[in-house]
């Protein structure tokens, strides 16, 4: 049984491959990548796969039974790109797709949701088995700013008192690996996020606590 992962050289995709390696043998994992030169450390079969080249995708999916479709990062192009993947998967006989969507994609006011909803609908209409993982915010969206906050003396944001229930990418990756290796998740839609919430002021206070330097939150 072959499980393929798109975006396997990305931050999330790399973790998904690592989490899959804990659950199935490396020979059963295929990394589908736009940039094969970046994939040598994955230690699994690597196949070239570009969401913008539908004519090459069906062949790249040959023999793949299950697919983790990690949403692309070209906002505005993604619905078309994801549709290309779903169509090629159908032609190649892929029997199950796990798709990484957006938390509460069907009800959120975030403008990012439209492409995810279009993809979810295309997936449901495709006749391929599906599991939808509606991923919340990555914790790394904020931890990446800690160095700048320390250098500049404040954590800067524009979230006001907004509550954030983020989770680390590796946790979302584990969810994807668990989902695609357990048939009981077929047909399910999961909302995934952290168990608890924090505000950016809470985060600044925690950075201050951990570093011993006063880092206030400055709301733009």
Interface segment toward ligand NAP; rule CB under 6 A; list 9-17, 86-94, 155-163, 194-202: 9-17
Minimum CB distance to ligand NAP smaller for 43 or for 183: 43
Burial of 147 (0-12, 13-18, 19+ CB in 10 A): exposed
Whose Cβ is closer to ligand NAP: residue 66's or residue 169's?
Answer: 169
C-alpha distances (whole Å) from 156 to each of 28, 153, 159, 164, 202 are 44, 9, 9, 15, 13
Residue length, the chain?
A: 220
Q: Does 157 bind ligand NAP (CB under 6 A)?
A: no
Number of residues interacting with ligand NAP: please give it, by CB under 6 A. 24
Residues between 16 and 45 that touch ligand NAP (CB under 6 A): 34-35, 38
- Name the minimum Å distance from CB 115 to ligand NAP: 9
Query: With respect to ligand NAP, which residue has the nearer C-beta, 153 or 162?
Result: 162
Reduced to 3 states, what is the DSSP secondary structure of residue 204?
Answer: helix
The H or E element that residue 10 is part of is: none
Distance CA 161, CA 206 (A): 15
11 binds ligand NAP (CB under 6 A): yes
CA angle 215, 216, 220 (to 5 degrees): 125
Measured from the CB atom, the residue of 47 and 66 that comes closer to ligand NAP is 47
* Contact code string over 96-135 relative to ligand NAP, x by CB under 6 A: ----x----------------------------------x
Distance CA 54, CA 77 (A): 14
How far apart, in whole angstroms, are the C-alpha atoms of residue 182 and residue 131?
Answer: 11
Which range of residues in 19-27, 68-76, 177-185, 201-209 is near ligand NAP by CB under 6 A?
Answer: 68-76
Q: Which stretch binds ligand NAP (CB under 6 A): 10-18, 56-64, 143-151, 209-217?
A: 10-18
Residues in Cβ contact with 173 at an 8 Å cutoff, skipping those fewer than 6 apart = 12, 15, 16, 18, 19
Site residues (CB under 6 A) for ligand NAP? 7, 9-13, 34-35, 38, 49-52, 70-74, 81, 100, 135, 137-138, 141
């Amino acid at each position: 049984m072959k499980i393929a992962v798109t975006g396997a050289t990305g931050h999330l995709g790399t973790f998904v491959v690592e989490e899959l390696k804990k659950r199935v043998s490396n020979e059963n994992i295929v990394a589908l990548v736009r940039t094969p030169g970046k994939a040598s450390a994955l230690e699994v079969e690597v196949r070239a796969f570009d969401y913008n080249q539908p004519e090459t995708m069906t062949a790249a999916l040959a023999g793949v039974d299950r697919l983790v479709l990690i949403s692309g990062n070209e906002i505005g192009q993604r619905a078309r790109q994801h549709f290309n993947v779903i169509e090629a998967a159908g032609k190649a006989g892929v029997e199950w797709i796990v798709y990484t969507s957006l938390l509460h994609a069907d009800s959120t006011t975030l403008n990012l949701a439209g492409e995810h909803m279009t993809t979810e609908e295309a997936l449901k209409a495709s006749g391929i088995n599906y599991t939808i993982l509606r991923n919340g915010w990555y914790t790394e969206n904020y931890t990446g700013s800690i160095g700048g906050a320390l250098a500049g003396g404040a954590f800067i944001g524009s979230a006001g008192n907004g509550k954030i229930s983020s989770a680390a990418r590796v946790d979302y990756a584990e969810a994807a690996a668990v989902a695609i290796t357990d048939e009981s998740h077929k047909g399910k839609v999961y909302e995934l996020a952290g168990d608890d919430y924090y505000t950016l002021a809470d985060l600044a206070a925690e950075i201050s606590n951990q570093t011993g330097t006063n880092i206030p939150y400055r709301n733009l």
